[in-house]
Structure 1
Amino acid sequence: MDTDMAQKETGKQEILTQGQVKPPFTGPENDGSRPQADTPGPKQTEQANKWAVLVIVAIGVFMATLDSSIVNISLPAIASSFGVPLSGEIEWVIIAYLVVTAGVLLTAGRISDMIGRKPIWAAGLIIFTVGSAFCGFAPSLGLLIAARALQGLGGALIMAISPAMLTSAFPAHERGRALGLNAVVVALGVSTGPTLGGIITSTLSWRWIFFVNLPIGIIGLILTMRILKEKMRWNRGKFDPAGAILLALGLVAITLGLSFGQEWGWNSPLLIGCLATGVIALILLYIVEKRVADPIINLSLLHNRVFLSATLSLVLSFLALFAVSFMLPFYLEELRGFTTVQAGLLLTPLPLTIAVIAPFSGTLADRFGTRWLAAGGLTIACIGLILISQLDAHSSTWDIIWRLVIIGMGQALFQSPNNSALMGSAPKELQGSAAGFLATGRVVGQSSPRWCAAKRVNDV
């Protein structure tokens, strides 16, 4: 059927890439737990385009997740290179990335709803790749931190819209499968990072952990410009600068407070002021967003029970997951005496388990719905967390591995169905905003474990 004829008949289809049609939103009654009916279209062209989009998204997501995990394992070498201790200023190499990412994610999602996905995605790849080059050549710790902040901006643009690109490219009955494959890419990036970072740092230099992003980013940008045919548009309301500023201020202040609570002291005026600033900014944001015609955060999403519960569950699950990822390297290296490479290898069972199971859980979610699958996954993950908390100085390597596998099984069964429910509960015109919420929940969960795990790390 001719594309123009299809648009006239349905009034709800949107062209994303050449020859590929996005299925319409079926209405507010869709809760995201069951896939919507497919939209008819030219099957062969649609098949080619959706897999091309998946490849493009996979490249960007892999680069961003690889970078986050590869830096963590190489932090001691970076500190040694600049002659600084492992606590204090060196922590900003991680925090600068997280803070900028947290402040930009939701705004990036909203802008993508306004002007389209392609320009935001391309900008993210360019900024992240350039930031990686600056990181590799940084002559001082201060410039490295600044370059990491630039990387965080690029990473925010990439992670903010990657789920929306997939849910827009794939038909509704394959949404869980697409997000499951995306979870595989995330897991591979996370699992590859520690091992690759340890090898690169040991054999070359920590600077090369950033240089590895350059060819990945260039390839991703070339494919983006050649394959994605979406043109920039500005047809979905005005930008909300006041909301964007308040949102960034609130999330940045809270992320900083949670990240440095242990170091500053939980009763310190600096911490209290930081958290209070964040809370006040978010309260003002809510007031402003209720009054503007085109808010940076569409509050109707938060009134959606499925969307809200999926977002909160996401934050809590990532808080638990990253608490494990944050503490285990200290346990393995400081208490057990493993080398950096050995510790990296011992951390891989968790993300590798996610990589193996996530596609199947996404497919099962497409067929049977998301609710019970996600709930069962969280239950298994909780059991794994209880088991891993029982590790001590005499636990065998096998004891560590099988506990990580259980956590990975639970997270894999939870993430794909939960993300599918979250994205499926949002209308098509708010897919970018929904993806921004998803990515922000991940970042908040990633930064929060620092304060809840710091005491145990100090004990080690």
Structure 2
Amino acid sequence: MSDLTMKAPPVAEQLLPGSWGVKAAVTGIALILFMVNLDTSIVIVGLPVLIAQLHASFASAQWVVLSYMLLLTALIAGAGRLGDIFGKKKLYLAGIALFTVASLGCGIAPGTGTLIVCRGLQGVGAAFCLSLSFAIAGDMVPKARLGKTMGWLTMMVPLGIASGPTCGGILISTLGWQSMFLVNIPIGVVAYTLVRRHVPVVAKAARQRTDWTGMILLAGVLVCYCMGMTFMEDKGPLSQPVLLLLAGFAAGLVLFIRYEKKVPQPFLQLQLFRNSLLSASLLAAWLVYTVIMATVVLLPFYLVNEGHYTPLQTGLLMSFGPLVTAVLSVFAGKAADRFHARKVMLAGVLVMVAGCLAMSSLSTGQGIFGFLWRIGLIQLGLTFFQTPNNTAVMELAALEQRGLMSGLLSLARTTGHITGTAVLGAVFALLVKSGTITHAISVVFLVAAVLVAVAALLIYLVLRTQGRRNNA
């Protein structure tokens, strides 16, 4: 194992507060993860209402979503590293405060311009919240309990996303569109209080010069990638804006790598990726989250147009998968604690391969049960991949690098979501033009099975290499 990713000294046991303090701190972190992920999906439901009541164009309404995702994606890795340098708890609290205040700004915004700005500020706050949540848990909880804690926290991600459409529909219909932002305020206040009182302060990394240039370069690279993928959905993969943005991404990435190699104290030490365990975990995560967006974005089209289910029925059917993940995440964490985390991950991605292959044979004659067991199989595999993967990466991280590692995990998830929506969405749209939605779903999930199989191969190769080293 590279000396850059040696495991941290066992300081967590020394920092643990009383049993109530640990539970309160984890509850605060869980509330933040739930709130931020709820906000990702709740706004999509409210876009038609925003367009009508604010007299906004569809393009400006899209920027309500895009401004949040752009700043979140661009800043998430840098936010994690800043937490390592300046103190994770301090910046985590600042992120919670910014997200909560920006939510108030969104709720009282008089027009789309103000709303877009406040959504961008929410994205900045969310970057610190998401990038530091797992890092703070890793600092606070002993290794023997890390998997279980990661299970509880990982559960909040699908639970927040799944709750968004339902909560958004109820809030908008009863209290107006402003309430889908204002609901964050009490959650944010409670979470801030719990984190401030019960999360211990961990020693910061040795003081070093902050690599602001590297962070800005990476942010620019990620903005180009995010916008390129977003425009691909509307304009097609070969349109001029998409090609220019992806060319900017490629050129910027080369420039960023060359700069980070030369700077004395880079914010992202590229030597980290020589560790095959870390690189395989992050790449596998990116592939898995790319695939999972096919279930979230494309299957509703099948249910509505081919299955002829109502929007309410479709929403209920689509909520089954995230609920499977929410219920089983803690058990996946316990399995990671008891068994080798990467063996559990490998089992998870193999189950996902089976689920994607099964979904490729879906037809309307198989009814609700035929859909539910297939989506349940995919989500079961996801659950037993993502919780052990989060645990494995945080176990690899040295104390002074946990913020960065947590940020890289979140970056793999968000860029995977963006890539899956754009690329698999483009494949789906192309197939629908020349065939049926059922055929398009079949082909997309065959492609998804191949992508997840590549993730399984990566994990297997790492396990085999590690086994040979242990036997040497």
How do 1:391-410 residues align onto structure 2 when only pairs under 5 Å count? Answer: 391-393=362-364, 395-410=366-381
Deviates further, 393-402 or 372-381? 393-402
Partner of 2:329: 358
**8 Å CA contact 1:315, 1:445 repeated in 2:** yes
| Paired residue type of 2:346 | A
**8 Å CA contact 2:294, 2:425 repeated in 1:** no
Post-superposition CA distance 1:257-301 (Å, at most 9, x none) = 011113233222221111111121121111111122221212232
| Paired residue type of 1:135 | C
**8 Å CA contact 2:135, 2:406 repeated in 1:** yes
Equivalent position to 1:432, from 384, 400, 403: 403
1:112 aligns with 2:75: no
Q: Distance in 1 between matches of 2:42 and 2:82?
A: 30
How do 1:278-289 residues align onto structure 2 when only pairs under 5 Å count? Answer: 278-289=249-260
Partner of 1:201: 172
In the TM superposition, what is the alpha-carbon distance from 1:364 to its structure 2 partner?
1.3
**8 Å CA contact 1:37, 1:172 repeated in 2:** no
Q: Distance in 1 between matches of 2:53 and 2:308?
A: 22
How do 1:191-230 residues align onto structure 2 when only pairs under 5 Å count? Answer: 191-230=162-201
Greater helix percent: which structure?
A: 2
1:210/1:340 CA distance change after superposition, 3 Å:
farther
In the TM superposition, what is the alpha-carbon distance from 1:229 to its structure 2 partner?
4.6
Deviates further, 327-336 or 117-126? 327-336
**8 Å CA contact 2:17, 2:198 repeated in 1:** no
Partner of 1:327: 298
Q: Residue 237 of structure 2: SS of its match in structure 1? A: coil
Partner of 1:181: 152
In the TM superposition, what is the alpha-carbon distance from 1:352 to its structure 2 partner?
1.0
Q: Distance in 2 between matches of 1:391 and 1:63?
A: 34
Equivalent position to 1:63, from 35, 39, 57: 35
How do 1:127-142 residues align onto structure 2 when only pairs under 5 Å count? Answer: 127-142=98-113
Q: Distance in 1 between matches of 2:385 and 2:330?
A: 11
Equivalent position to 1:261, from 232, 251, 267: 232
1:43/1:240 CA distance change after superposition, 3 Å:
closer
How do 1:3-402 residues align onto structure 2 when only pairs under 5 Å count? Answer: 28=3, 41=13, 45=17, 47-82=19-54, 88-230=59-201, 235-333=206-304, 335-393=306-364, 395-402=366-373
Q: Residue 379 of structure 2: SS of its match in structure 1? A: helix
| Paired residue type of 1:114 | I
Q: Distance in 2 between matches of 1:30 and 1:156?
A: 23
Q: Residue 348 of structure 1: SS of its match in structure 2? A: helix
How do 1:440-455 residues align onto structure 2 when only pairs under 5 Å count? Answer: 440-455=411-426
Q: Residue 110 of structure 2: SS of its match in structure 1? A: coil
Q: Distance in 2 between matches of 1:84 and 1:340?
A: 24
Q: Distance in 2 between matches of 1:83 and 1:331?
A: 31
Q: Distance in 1 between matches of 2:72 and 2:361?
A: 34
Q: Residue 154 of structure 2: SS of its match in structure 1? A: helix
**8 Å CA contact 2:210, 2:267 repeated in 1:** yes
Q: Distance in 2 between matches of 1:108 and 1:44?
A: 24
**8 Å CA contact 2:359, 2:374 repeated in 1:** yes
Q: Residue 228 of structure 2: SS of its match in structure 1? A: helix
In the TM superposition, what is the alpha-carbon distance from 1:392 to its structure 2 partner?
4.4
Partner of 2:460: none
Deviates further, 297-306 or 434-443? 297-306
In the TM superposition, what is the alpha-carbon distance from 1:166 to its structure 2 partner?
0.7
Q: Distance in 1 between matches of 2:201 and 2:175?
A: 41
**8 Å CA contact 1:166, 1:178 repeated in 2:** yes
Count of residues paired in the alignment: 431
Deviates further, 339-348 or 54-63? 339-348
1:41/1:309 CA distance change after superposition, 3 Å:
closer
1:139/1:330 CA distance change after superposition, 3 Å:
farther
1:338/1:72 CA distance change after superposition, 3 Å:
farther
| Paired residue type of 1:185 | M
**8 Å CA contact 2:221, 2:248 repeated in 1:** yes
Post-superposition CA distance 1:289-335 (Å, at most 9, x none) = 11222212122321111011000011111111122111233333455
Segments of structure 1 that go 5 or more residues without pairing to the other structure are 1-25
1:322/1:390 CA distance change after superposition, 3 Å:
same
- TM-score (normalizing by structure 1): 0.86
Q: How much is the aligned-residue C-alpha RMSD, in angstroms?
A: 2.6
Partner of 2:394: 423
Deviates further, 182-191 or 154-163? 182-191
1:37/1:142 CA distance change after superposition, 3 Å:
closer
